[in-house]
Structures are given as C-alpha cells and as structure tokens.
C-alpha cells in the first residue's frame, strides 16, 4: 500500500516536471542486483527519471509498472536456450531469475501498451519473448561482434545499414557506425517484429514494432544519445 501511494505521488510529481519515469530491469552481479550507470546517465540526460525493477512476482511487477511511462531492457547475460526450445550450445552465463524478470516485464509492457526499449540482450530477450530464436555463438560471420569488448572501444565497432521508412533512418540516415559487445544474435525473427538495421554480414542489429524498438549495440556507451532522447520523447507522449 505504501509503495503504491509513494509511486503515485512520484508519478504525479514527475509528470508535472515533464519527466517520464523509465523502469530499468535489474541484473545480478556478484550476488547483488545492479544496473550499469551508463544506462541511468543516458536516460537522465535525456530528461527521464529512472526506476530500478527487481525480480518479484508478475502481479507485483504489474502493479509497479502501472506507474511508469516506459521500460528499458538493458544488456546482460545470455538468454537460457530452453526458452526457445534449444539445447545449450554456447550460452553462458545464464541467470534464470533475470530471464523470468525480463519475460514478465515484456509481457506486461505489451499488455499495458508501455513503450519498450531493448539494448543488446534486451533485443534478444524481446525476440525470444515473442517467439523467436537466437544464434547462440556467432562463429561463422565476417565481423568480430565482440570487437569493442575485446579492445575496450566504447564508440567504434562496425557499420550497420539502416532500412528506409523507420525512425532510425530519420535519426541517422542509411548507415551508422556502432560498437559491438555481443556473441549472440537473432536467428529466427519473431512474428510481429520488423528488422530496422543489419550489419554487412547479415546479423540483425535493430528491430521494431508498435510501442517498442531494440538495438544490438550499446548506445549508452556512445557519444550520440539520439536513441535515448527519442525513447524519452516517446514515453512523454505515452504518459
């Protein structure tokens, strides 16, 4: 009861300040729930207030998320292949509690029409939640998709080609250089999702649908924060 009242008060205050509340799903690091500060900084700089969402029952999550204007599903560990009916052929580490948190939050976002922004693992778990599958280890492609991670390069990685007639094209034009920190990617695209961008070796780098978009790269580590500004504005309209 106190939590509900507190969130309602905070929501009213944030709306009065034109600051949408964006929920970020937690990750587990050394037995502690956490979120990378880069996500928080990027959302705050774009004009949002952040709320860290911890694992809990779906009913509790539904109540909590009724007070937010948008949800960010960040990067993190590999998605359990059992969730898309495959044996484990290279997915590690896995955290089942976080898988369930993301799946529940995605389902609630779809049910309530809450805008959703997925980043790296966020793109992958959105695809899985909607019925798609993943490539568990990118070993037979032309680009090293772990390049930025290996070389500690926050901004640079490789170019992606952006399809016309989507918001990414309006923001960046026909291509953009992105960083790359992943060894997994979308295999079979879920029904209802559209590909927005691909790398030169055919890896899906961005997807979208009604009230959601997701990218495989890490925009929170890049100089350009256009995606966060776009998302926060999207949430303002929703709120």
Write the CATH number for 102. 3.40.50.880
Inside any domain, residue 205:
yes
111 counts as catalytic: no
Q: What is the pTM of this model?
A: 0.92
State the residue for tokens 């809450």: 114
- Catalytic residue from among 14, 182, 183, 220: 220
CB of 150 closer than 8 Å to CB of 209: no
State the residue for tokens 């992606």: 160
- For residue 80, the 8-state DSSP code is P
Inside any domain, residue 181:
yes
Residue 21 CA from chain centroid, whole number = 16
- Catalytic residue from among 145, 158, 183, 218: 218
Inside any domain, residue 214:
yes
**b/e per residue, 168-190, with b = 16+ CB within 10 A?**
beeebeeebebbbbbbbbbeebb
**Residue 89 is inside which H or E element, if any?**
none
Which pair of tokens denotes residue 156?
């640079």
229 counts as catalytic: no
Q: Tell me the C-alpha distance between 132 and 102, whole Å.
A: 15
Inside any domain, residue 126:
yes
Inside any domain, residue 6:
no
Inside any domain, residue 115:
yes
Residue 194 CA from chain centroid, whole number = 15
- Catalytic residue from among 72, 120, 158, 208: 120
The total domain count for the chain is 1
Inside any domain, residue 14:
no
Inside any domain, residue 133:
yes
220 counts as catalytic: yes
Domain span including residue 46: 21-238
Among 6, 121, 105, CA closest to 60: 105
Instruction: Please give the chain's pLDDT, 239 residues, in tens.
Output: 335 445 554 555 555 467 999 999 999 988 899 999 999 999 999 999 999 999 999 999 999 999 999 999 999 999 999 999 999 999 999 999 999 999 999 999 999 999 999 999 999 999 999 999 999 999 878 898 998 988 888 888 999 999 998 999 999 999 999 999 999 999 999 999 999 999 999 999 999 999 999 999 999 999 777 999 999 999 998 76
């Amino acid at each position: 009861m106190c939590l509900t009242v507190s969130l309602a008060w905070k929501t009213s205050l944030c709306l009065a300040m034109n600051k949408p509340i964006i929920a970020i799903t937690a990750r587990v690091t050394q037995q502690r729930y956490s979120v990378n500060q880069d996500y928080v900084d990027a959302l705050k700089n774009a004009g949002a207030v952040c709320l860290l969402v911890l694992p809990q029952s779906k009913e509790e999550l539904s109540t909590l998320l009724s007070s937010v204007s948008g949800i960010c599903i960040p990067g993190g560990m590999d998605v359990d292949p059992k969730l898309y009916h495959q044996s484990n052929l290279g997915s590690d580490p896995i955290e089942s509690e976080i898988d369930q948190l993301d799946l529940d939050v995605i389902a609630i976002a779809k049910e309530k029409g809450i805008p959703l922004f997925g980043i790296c693992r966020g793109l992958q778990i959105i695809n899985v939640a909607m019925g798609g599958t993943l490539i568990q280890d990118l070993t037979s492609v032309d680009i090293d998709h772990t390049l930025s991670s290996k070389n500690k390069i926050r901004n640079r990685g490789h170019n992606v080609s952006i399809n016309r007639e989507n918001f990414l094209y309006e923001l960046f034009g026909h291509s953009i250089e992105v960083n790359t920190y992943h060894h997994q990617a979308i295999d079979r695209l879920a029904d209802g999702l559209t590909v927005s961008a691909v790398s030169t070796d055919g890896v899906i780098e961005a997807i979208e649908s009604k009230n959601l978009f997701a990218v495989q790269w890490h925009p929170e580590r890049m100089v350009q924060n256009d995606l966060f500004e776009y998302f926060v504005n999207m949430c303002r309209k929703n709120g």
